[in-house]
Chains A and B, each alone.
Chain A
Amino acid sequence: MTTRLFYDLVALVIFALVIVLGVPALMGFDGFELNTFARYLALGIASLALALSWGGAGLLNLGQAATFGMGSYAMAMHLKLKASGDGLPDFMGWNNVPELPLIWVPFHSLGFTLLAGLLVPAFVGGLIAMFMFRARIAGVFVAIITLAFLVAFQLVVIEEQGITGGQNGLTGLAPLNVLGWSVDTYGVGFYYLVAGCLVTAITIGLYLTHSKFGLILRAIREDADRTRFLGYNVANYQTVIFCISAALAGWAGMLYTLVLEFASPTYMSVSFSLAIVIWCAVGGRDSVLAAAIGAILVNLLEGRLSDIFVEGWNLMLGVIFVFVVMFMPRGLNGLVGDAWRFIGGRLQKERTISTRPHLQPEPVKSGQEN
């Protein structure tokens, strides 16, 4: 076991304990308070999904909200059908839709819905990724293309009112029913469901980053050409991580619909997509755990700020983000790492003088600093 993996596992265990035991205890096991927190946890999954592609592979996906929205709508379609009983969903009535569109029919089944909420985003993400990465598109162009896709996708969802509910989205949903357990959104049980999902998602993320697969992705991130010359099919690796990231975002979307009890096209807005990037940046995009914590902390802070400063909380949040980007480019994770090394370095200095001189790079004499 490497030291990094050890630290990550310790951090994961601490995080899981805080989420599963600490937070509910602090909130006095109040289901309604936990509902608010469950929302942050769901957003944490969206943030860690982005960390996988952005931090792990250097692919800044600004269309994360689109795949998040797909998951969210998949779940909402299932619950809307449950709420409508034998009839048509109400919004189809005022859009003069005569019968249930074919695309809606399979969502009667929960099993299909759960699969669709993961696989549809993965498929769409994979498709875009294939076109992009086969053409060796990289860097800022990935961000532009995914952003353009997001805008187009949101427009389609808003315009196709008869199928999607348009601007209002899908509202008036039934509670989820899993194997006879009717999920009460305001119950402690629901909180544990979301918390369990988040811990599982982080575990998957950690596994991926520490696997050989994750190592190759990091190599691609640092230098795609060099990795290609070593014989790896760069496009395939990038496509796979894009798919996984999209599927995780879809998962987060499904949970988000359950928490808020409606699906809205604003989940696919540019501002929401950028918010995910911000959470990820604040937490630290190099680590899935840090990214999830970033999402939770930023949302907590937003809730707190908007509580104290009813006017101007948006502005203050913006200023904080600017500072984070300027002074903490690697987020809280980088900060903690720096602090750790700083303390460690100081302690070591006291004991021995320069323990590993051979590891330090030779000073460049020619003046060509890079």
Chain B
Amino acid sequence: MKRRDFLSSVGAVGTAGALSAPALLTTIGRATAQGNDIPVGLLFSLTGAVAVVESTLHDAALMAIEEINAAGGVHGRQLRPIIEDPASDPATYADRARRLMIRDKCVSVFGSYTSASRQAVLPVTEQRSNLYWYPTLYEGRECSRNVMYGGAVPNQQQDELIPWAIENFGPRFYMIGNNYVYPKEENNYCKTLLAKHGGEVVHEEYVPLGHSDFSSVINRIRAEEPDVIFATVVGDSDVAFARQYHAAELDPARMPVVSLTRSEVEVKAIGGEAAAGHFSSAPYFMGTQTPENERFVESYKSRYGADQVTHFVSEAAYFQVYQFKAALEKLDPANITPETIRDAAVGLTLTAPQGEVLIDENLHTHLWPKIGQWQSNGQAEVLLQSQERVAPLPYAAYEGQTCTGEGLVRA
């Protein structure tokens, strides 16, 4: 084929492509809501920086949907999952959320791990009065009427943890976190608890997200000799931190890392040996002994592989789908909208793998905080389990502000 012929044939293809552009447009304009099933959106990154964690949330939520469908659906109607991959990019989250909520007319969307992606989805969710089910622990200080928060807020992770840590290890805390809103808010709340229980902050330090060289941090920890390392380091950073901490031969018995973010996923990447002896505070660990959890772990492993782990965010991603289903069941099938689902969900109790959870009128979830110590097999041994379910107080660090069923109230 001569170059010139080749060019012309490519040109023909290109022109055809250009002419088909209107077809691209029209198909975009068509709504796909059809039939008798209930469209729900799944908005978890399957590619990109946070895909390692988010794909497990996707798997857990999808498993719940398929379990529900296999059991006959809701009112005889099937849930139709519409899957999008926002590729770990906030702008793409915003775009895909529009697609799910506007074009596909999903009555609810399940999604997100990071705060940045949740906030990218918020404007369209509120504007369209849709419902966004967010399974991750987060920093609190948000009171949207359109988000169902399934994860812990600071008071649920720390109220029990801080006095316990002071009592068992000592009052001198070294704070290390990534430099963004979540660690800062957790540390702000931790400081108020430390003041109350007689603890102190010896050093507060933030490293950029994705930071992986902790040698200077470890040197400073060595010099300061704190009693507790209070860690809010996330993702790859946490893996690097834990490995280097172990390699530096710092003894977890003398200076334990107490983390709010380290779950089975991170420990799997860290390796059981390096993680062993340190602590995490979370409402759920994979080893939680309830019949619901055994069922959850077993079906998760049989679906996705025996080497897979469940963790406190994937557990919430899983039970939130069941909360959604329970809310639908309370409703008249002819009157299913995001608002009616929300109203039906408030006050709902459900036996989740971690225990019986309740949706507060502020749309956050009442949970069962636990403190676990990591073992060399990559699992946590639960040392302390809250005696009662803990209510979510997303504004606990801010006096005079409460998140209620009517939204944020300032005293």
Contacts and interface: CB of A to CB of B under 8 A. Distances in A.
Interface of A: 22-23, 26-28, 30, 32-33, 35-36, 39, 90-91, 93-96, 155, 158-159, 161, 166-169, 171-173, 185-186, 260-262, 264, 266-267, 297, 300-301, 303-304, 306-307, 310-311, 313-314, 327-328, 332, 335-336, 338-339, 342
B215 interface: no
B91 A264 contact: yes
Interface in B46-68: 46-47
Contacts of A267: 91
A171 B89 contact: no
B123 interface: yes
B208 A158 contact: yes
A171 B83 contact: no
B25 to A, nearest CB: 5
10 contacts: A33-B28, A90-B141, A161-B180, A167-B209, A297-B21, A310-B46, A311-B47, A328-B14, A332-B14, A335-B10
Given A33-B28, A186-B127, A332-B14, 13 more contacts: A26-B25, A27-B29, A35-B98, A90-B141, A94-B184, A171-B119, A171-B120, A266-B116, A300-B21, A304-B24, A304-B28, A310-B85, A335-B14
B95 interface: yes
A327 B6 CA distance: 10
B372 to A, nearest CB: 28
B27 A310 contact: no
B14 A262 contact: no
B29 A262 contact: no
Contacts of A342: 4, 7-8, 11
Contact of A300 (B7, B25, B98, B123): B25
A95 B184 contact: yes
Nearest to A301: B24
Nearest to A165: B181
A282 B382 CA distance: 56
B95 A314 contact: no
Contact of A36 (B18, B28, B123, B185): B28
B381 to A, nearest CB: 33
B21 A303 contact: no
A260 B91 contact: yes
Given A166-B179, A167-B180, A266-B91, A94 B185 contact: yes
Contacts of B21: 297, 300
Contacts of A30: 29
Nearest to A262: B120
Contacts of B99: 36, 303, 307
A327 B87 CA distance: 28
B11 A335 contact: yes
Contacts of B180: 158, 161, 166-168
A166 B181 contact: yes
B389 interface: no
B91 A168 contact: no
Nearest to A32: B102
B115 interface: yes
Interface in B179-221: 179-181, 184-185, 188, 208-209
B127 A27 contact: no
A169 B208 CA distance: 15
Interface in B3-35: 4, 7-8, 10-12, 14-15, 18, 21-22, 24-29
Contact of A261 (B4, B27, B116, B123): B123
Contacts of A260: 91, 94-95, 120, 123
B90 interface: yes
Contacts of B127: 185-186
Contacts of A336: 11, 14-15
Contact of B29 (A26, A155, A173): A26
Contact of A33 (B12, B22, B29): B29
B385 to A, nearest CB: 30
B329 to A, nearest CB: 29
Sorted from nearest, which 5 A-B pairs have the closest CB atoms?
A261-B123, A167-B180, A339-B11, A171-B119, A32-B102
Given A36-B28, A168-B181, A303-B95, A264 B7 contact: no
A185 B123 CA distance: 10
Given A332-B14, A342-B11, A314 B47 contact: yes
A359 B74 CA distance: 77
Given A168-B119, A264-B116, A267-B91, A339 B8 contact: yes
B122 interface: yes
Contacts of B185: 94
A114 to B, nearest CB: 21
B268 interface: no
- Most B-side CB within 10 Å, residue of A172, A313, A335: A335
Interface in B61-118: 83-85, 87, 89-91, 94-96, 98-99, 102-103, 115-116
A145 to B, nearest CB: 23
B25 A27 contact: yes
A114 B28 CA distance: 32
Interface centre among B12, B15, B85, B122 (most CB of A within 10 A): B85
Contacts of B184: 94-95, 161
Nearest to B122: A171
Contacts of B179: 158-159, 161, 166-167
A94 B47 contact: no
Most buried by B among A23, A304, A307, A342: A307
Contact of B103 (A33, A185, A297, A339): A33
Interface in B335-390: none
B10 A94 contact: no
Contacts of A90: 141
A313 B181 contact: no
Contacts of A186: 127
A327 B10 CA distance: 9
Contacts of B11: 335-336, 338-339, 342
A91 B27 CA distance: 40
Given A36-B95, A306-B84, A314-B87, A94 B141 contact: yes
B119 to A, nearest CB: 4
A115 to B, nearest CB: 25
Nearest to A332: B14
B398 to A, nearest CB: 8
Contacts of A297: 18, 21
A28 B99 CA distance: 16
A336 B10 CA distance: 10
A32 B98 CA distance: 8
A264 B116 CA distance: 8
B141 A262 contact: no
